[in-house]
């Protein structure tokens, strides 16, 4: 195939030591058989050390789901980019819709986190996307352009996650995903990976990944089920 695809699993606040080991025991042999796809798992902070030990030498990179914009200091409960890098993280999700909506992260804060990840030598996965209200108001391009424009974006992965297509019963068609990806493509440097994060499942992964400007997926719930995640990875590797 002509380009490397990216598939990142976002475990969110799920997992246990036993469940994580069982999941990775199934994933590693399956991913080892694939070519042309970069596989990443973004895990909760407490499991980073164990996942790093489990995946050492395996064809699966690991990352975090969030980071502090501060380098160090009196920020109880926060985790710095340097701490993540010390655990061998290669990727960090920044600006996820849940962080923006549930925890009030602003565009400026997301931009600062993006810069912190870059400064620590890791690759940020920047999430942008519109809500159902914004979609229905015809503001999709305005919203994603604002979120992207707030960040000094370079050498990162860009993830489009339509908030309206996550857990709402409304699904984005491959063509709808392509439309926004094509818009974003015009705003970033050539070669930037733009992945899709709107309820990707084994049943729809092939059709979504077939779109010319979709370079892979940011996978939520399906990344916790080894067979489903491997099926999605196989769709990306085709």
Residue 129 sits in a domain of what CATH number?
3.20.20.70
Give the range of the structural domain holding residue 81, as residue numbers without chain letter. Answer: 5-237
Kindly name the residue from 38, 98, 130, 161 that is annotated as catalytic.
161
**Which contacts qualify for 146-153: CB closer than 8 Å, 24 or more apart?**
146/107, 147/95, 147/107, 147/110, 148/184, 148/187, 148/188, 149/187, 150/107, 150/108, 150/110, 150/111, 151/95, 151/107, 151/110, 151/111, 151/114, 151/126, 152/111, 152/114, 152/115, 153/114, 153/126, 153/188
pTM of the model: 0.96
- Whether residue 14 lies in the annotated active site: no
Number of domains the chain is built from: 1
pLDDT in tens, the chain (238 residues): 457 899 999 999 999 999 999 999 999 999 999 999 999 999 999 999 999 999 999 999 999 999 999 999 999 999 999 999 999 999 999 999 999 999 999 999 999 999 999 999 999 999 999 999 999 999 999 999 999 999 999 999 999 999 998 866 677 899 999 999 999 999 999 999 999 998 899 999 999 999 999 999 999 999 999 999 999 999 999 7
Q: Is 96 a catalytic residue?
A: yes
Distance of CA 182 to the CA centre of its chain: 18
**Active-site option among 96, 98, 130, 181:** 96
């Amino acid at each position: 195939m002509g380009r490397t695809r990216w598939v990142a699993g976002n475990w969110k606040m799920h997992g246990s030591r036993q469940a994580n080991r069982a999941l990775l025991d199934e994933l590693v042999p399956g991913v080892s058989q694939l070519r042309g796809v970069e596989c990443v798992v973004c895990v909760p902070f407490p499991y980073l050390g164990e996942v790093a030990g489990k995946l050492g030498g395996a064809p699966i990179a690991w990352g975090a789901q969030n980071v502090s914009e501060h380098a160090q200091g009196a920020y109880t409960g926060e985790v710095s980019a340097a701490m993540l890098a010390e655990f061998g993280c290669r990727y960090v999700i920044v600006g996820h819709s849940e962080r923006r909506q549930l925890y009030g992260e602003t565009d400026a804060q997301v931009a600062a986190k993006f810069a912190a990840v870059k400064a620590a030598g890791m690759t940020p996965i920047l999430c942008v996307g519109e809500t159902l209200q914004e979609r229905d108001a015809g503001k999709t391009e305005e919203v994603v352009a604002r979120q992207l424009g707030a960040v000094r974006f370079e050498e990162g992965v860009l993830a489009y996650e339509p908030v309206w297509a996550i857990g709402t019963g409304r699904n984005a068609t491959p063509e709808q995903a392509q439309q926004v990806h094509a818009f974003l493509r015009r705003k970033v440097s050539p070669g930037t990976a733009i992945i899709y994060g709107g309820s990707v499942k084994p049943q729809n992964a092939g059709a979504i990944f077939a779109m010319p400007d979709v370079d892979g997926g940011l996978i939520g719930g399906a990344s916790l089920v080894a067979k489903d995640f491997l099926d999605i990875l196989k769709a990306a590797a085709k």
